[in-house]
Structure 1
Amino acid sequence: MNSIATIKNDAFSEKIEVQDNWIEVLGSCDGLVLLLNEENEKFLVNPVTLQQAKVPDPPVALEKWESFTMHGFGYDSAIDDYKIVSVSYSFNDEDYDTGFVDTFVDVYYVKRGFWKRVENSPYAHTFHDPPSGVFLNGAAHWLASIKDSRHRSVIAAFDLVREVFDEIPAPSGINANFVFCTLVVLGGCLCLVDARCNKKTDGNRTDVWVMREYGSAESWMKFSIDCNYYERYIIARPLCYIGGDEEIVWTTKEESLVIYNLKDKTFRDMIVDGFPAHVLNGCSFVGSLVSPYL
């Protein structure tokens, strides 16, 4: 596990000596990172202090082979506690897309050390590769759809204080289906990445939508990235701005990091310790001394 810090155009990494069988980053908040390992165990890790604490499974945990689970991690300011949200679906193997049987939404209070079953989500979280919940403005966000005949796509936000789901308005100009979209936080704003442009008519283009004012449908701003001249890589998701707001660090489908310059509209490899950066799974976080044991 490596931590990469960026100063303008230079980057350096620091090896973090913790167990290295992590397979997925489930969330990050206040310098704490929620990680999943090969044994399907969850840990809260502080990459600065190297402390790590195992998170117990929910009381009624579904087997991995018979379900899938999405996680969110964030801070509840009302009770001064961190919470982990688990949205689990059991399904019918004969019909993966429509055969969902049960839904469970559980919340783990990190300081208090217990799980709580809450009201189920009113949305369908049925994407084949469910990402981690994006924490912003006191809520964990996922792409989802309305449970009706139209299956309209929405951004579902789980409020960590009220422990209920709300709907965040999506950009009006985006395609109705979110299957190939990615939701992230970029520069403190909710960001939706749409890489489904028709190459025959639009070229190899990625559209990026940024919600400048949280919760305001009119505040979505769009910019597009032309990737035709950078066909070595397929950009996947943005991690953060560097050097102000002119350049964005992206992960790619080829498990590397690249930097895109918004002004010059050019890509370049991100060089770390003299070599191109290689990232299987990552997130951005601000270092702190917060203990995962709390």
Structure 2
Amino acid sequence: MSASKLPAISVPALPSEIIEAILTLLPAKSLGRFKSVSKTWNSLISDPKFIKKNLQHHPQTPTKLILLSDTDSLQYSLDTNQFLPYLNINNNDDDDDIPATAVKEVSFRFKEIFGSCNGLVLAKDENDTIFMINPATQDRFEVPLPPFVLPDDIDLIVWYGFGYDSSTDDYKVVSLTIWYLRREYEPYSMDTYVSLYSLRNNSWNKLSNSSHFFGLHADSPVVINQSSYQWFNDFSTISAFSFTTEEFSEFRLQFLDLFKNRLVQFYDLVDIGGKLGVFLRVGGGGFEMWVMEDVGTNTWTRVCFHEFKDLRDRLKPVCLVEGSYRDIILDVKGDVLVFNIDDGRSRNVRIEGGPAGGFTVLGTYAESLESPKRILTPP
């Protein structure tokens, strides 16, 4: 029998329950494409209950870097797991670049990023509007300003922390406002308050123990395991705010006892594979990062960046390479580098598909279908 005369085979349609179960297991990147298969699939993949199930099946997805081009001011995204295949290749000393392909230009423009969680990014745009956005789906929600009245003639310092409360399935924003009152012929004065925004309730509330924040350093915090970590001004103690309990706690950095007679400059708090990293520079010893292994016991692991001992410009650890717990992505003078903890060696990342100039890492996010609309939609 010739191929042209083969009988047609009828393939029975799968039950909708099985189709939904299969789709739930797929990554967000694939599901975004599958929305165009049919109106039924589009409706299913956009359903808030489906989005939550998919997020539960993919709590950890490849981390994407949000990159700002130094040459054309455009912004790009890049998967960190693209570095992994090249890390074990023994290159010559003259060829240490790691090519990274498929850099993707994004349509949004971030002026400042305050954090990301489950695929959502809390950011400020060029008009100083605060919003939550999913860079993968472009779903966006403008966060209303706190309704609390402040004096007119003041200078403000405001920082935001962004996290998830699994107990209520809610995204929350903690905001610290420090205001300075300067009036001629009157004493200088300051005050501060901390407020909390709930996406589910779409409302702000003042927290009663805002006096806790009088001593906090006004930099953006880092959020790990549903808690926001922030330095005190003396840099010897860290404050933690829990998005679940909405309470503060603090702990002292015990490893600082090792540097009693040495100058220590403090830089960033960093999320390193779900662990808190304290990044600093020790006089005469170069850059170091101390990674907290266990919050309860306050135990730390030391990582030294001796290669950058003489570097005067800003050096910032960003995150781990996806799939590796020994390779840290660094932002160094507008270049993206990968630093290996074991051999103390860094390698440049040559980003293919983007402009020839350097990049600055604005932040990170994990690709998902999550949407602020899911939380705002009544169950």
Same topology, TM > 0.5: yes
Instruction: Quote the Cα distance in structure 1 between the aligned partners of 2:154 and 2:348.
Output: 38
**Match in the other structure for 2:4:** none
**Equivalent residue for 2:266, pick from 180, 185, 188:** 180
Instruction: Quote the Cα distance in structure 2 between the aligned partners of 1:230 and 1:248.
Output: 19
Task: Say if 2:237 is the partner of 1:154.
Answer: yes
Letter in structure 2 aligned against 1:86: S
**Match in the other structure for 1:31:** 119
**Equivalent residue for 2:148, pick from 54, 60, 63:** 60
**Equivalent residue for 1:15, pick from 101, 105, 116:** 105
Conserved 8 A contact 2:335-2:358: yes
1:56-110 per-position Cα deviation (integer Å, ceiling 9, x unaligned)? 100026579611111100011221110011011002459xxxx661111111111
Task: Say if 2:151 is the partner of 1:72.
Answer: no
**Equivalent residue for 2:316, pick from 220, 228, 236:** 236
Instruction: Quote the Cα distance in structure 2 between the aligned partners of 1:230 and 1:277.
Output: 24
Shift of 1:52: 1.3
Instruction: Quote the Cα distance in structure 2 between the aligned partners of 1:103 and 1:256.
Output: 37
Bigger RCO (CA 8 Å, 6+ sep): 2
Task: Say if 2:266 is the partner of 1:266.
Answer: no
Letter in structure 2 aligned against 1:170: L
Question: Residue 64 and residue 24 in structure 1: after superposition, are their counterparts in 2 closer, same or farther (change >3 A)?
Answer: farther
Conserved 8 A contact 1:256-1:280: yes
Question: Residue 277 and residue 287 in structure 1: after superposition, are their counterparts in 2 closer, same or farther (change >3 A)?
Answer: farther
**Equivalent residue for 2:302, pick from 207, 222, 234:** 222
Letter in structure 2 aligned against 1:225: F
Shift of 1:250: 0.9
Task: Tell me the TM-score normalised to structure 2 length.
Answer: 0.65
Question: Residue 37 and residue 64 in structure 1: after superposition, are their counterparts in 2 closer, same or farther (change >3 A)?
Answer: farther
**Match in the other structure for 1:148:** none
Q: Which has the higher helix share?
A: 2
Conserved 8 A contact 1:208-1:222: yes
Q: 1:124-135, aligned counterparts within 5 Å?
A: 124-127=214-217, 130-135=218-223
Which runs of 5 or more structure 1 residues have no equivalent in the other structure?
A: 146-150
Instruction: Quote the Cα distance in structure 2 between the aligned partners of 1:244 and 1:224.
Output: 18
**Match in the other structure for 1:207:** 288
Instruction: Quote the Cα distance in structure 2 between the aligned partners of 1:114 and 1:87.
Output: 16
Conserved 8 A contact 1:256-1:277: no
Shift of 1:283: 2.1
Q: Which has the higher strand share?
A: 1
Number of equivalent positions: 274
- With 75-84 and 9-18 compared, the bigger mean Cα shift is at 9-18
Instruction: Quote the Cα distance in structure 2 between the aligned partners of 1:260 and 1:152.
Output: 26
**Equivalent residue for 1:191, pick from 263, 277, 281:** 277
Conserved 8 A contact 2:136-2:368: yes
Question: Residue 182 and residue 75 in structure 1: after superposition, are their counterparts in 2 closer, same or farther (change >3 A)?
Answer: same
1:195-250 per-position Cα deviation (integer Å, ceiling 9, x unaligned)? 2x223xx3xx1111011112322x21112111347749642233223451221101
Q: 1:71-110, aligned counterparts within 5 Å?
A: 71-92=160-181, 101-110=190-199
Conserved 8 A contact 1:77-1:161: yes
Larger radius of gyration: 2
Instruction: Quote the Cα distance in structure 2 between the aligned partners of 1:77 and 1:220.
Output: 27
**Aligned-residue CA RMSD in angstroms?**
2.7
Conserved 8 A contact 1:109-1:115: yes
Question: Residue 178 and residue 165 in structure 1: after superposition, are their counterparts in 2 closer, same or farther (change >3 A)?
Answer: farther
Task: Say if 2:136 is the partner of 1:51.
Answer: no
SS of the equivalent of 2:103 reads strand
Instruction: Quote the Cα distance in structure 2 between the aligned partners of 1:207 and 1:101.
Output: 34
Which runs of 5 or more structure 2 residues have no equivalent in the other structure?
A: 1-74, 87-98, 375-379
**Match in the other structure for 2:360:** 280
Letter in structure 2 aligned against 1:159: S
